[in-house]
Amino acid sequence: GAGVSQSPSNKVTEKGKDVELRCDPISGHTALYWYRQSLGQGLEFLIYFQGNSAPDKSGLPSDRFSAERTGGSVSTLTIQRTQQEDSAVYLCASSYQGTGVQETQYFGPGTRLLVL
C-alpha cells in the first residue's frame, strides 16, 4: 500500500518568503507528526495531531511556524518569513491511534528546504 508522501521533495526559497510543505499520511492513520532534521543535529519534534484532539504544538520553534490538518488527513506545515536557520529536512510521520506496536511511526521521505 501507499506510504507517507511529502511534497515538494526539495524547496529553495529566498529569505523572507513563505513556504508550505505538504504531508499525505497513510490511510487510516489518525496520528500525524512533523519533525525537523537540521545538519548535524538530531530530529526535532515540531507538532503532533491526533484525531479530533487539539494538536500538541509544543515543538514549534516560533510563531512563524504553523500547521493544520484538514479532514483528519492531509497536513500542511507553513513557515512564514523564512530565515536561513529554517534550512533543514522536514519529515512527516503517521501512525495508528493504538498503543504498543500500533504507535510505530511511518515516515515520509522528507522535504529538503534551503533558504538563501
- The residues that touch another protein, with contacts defined as CB under 8 A, are 4, 31, 33, 41-45, 48, 50, 53, 56, 58-59, 91, 93, 95, 99-101, 103-110
The single residue listed with the C-alpha cell 484538514 is 70
Q: Which is nearer to another protein, 10 or 16 (CB)?
A: 10
Residue type, 72: G
Q: Which is nearer to another protein, 50 or 76 (CB)?
A: 50
Among candidate residues 58, 49, 42, the one with its CA nearest the CA of residue 95: 49
Q: Provide the minimum distance between the beta carbon of 85 and another protein in the complex, in angstroms, as a whole number.
A: 18
Q: Which is nearer to another protein, 14 or 40 (CB)?
A: 40
The dihedral sign for the CA sequence 4, 103, 70, 28: positive
Q: Provide the minimum distance between the beta carbon of 49 and another protein in the complex, in angstroms, as a whole number.
A: 10
Q: Provide the minimum distance between the beta carbon of 104 and another protein in the complex, in angstroms, as a whole number.
A: 5
Cis before residue 8, ω within 30 degrees of 0? yes
Q: Which is nearer to another protein, 76 or 106 (CB)?
A: 106
DSSP state of 101: G
Q: How far apart are CA 89 and CA 112, in angstroms?
A: 4
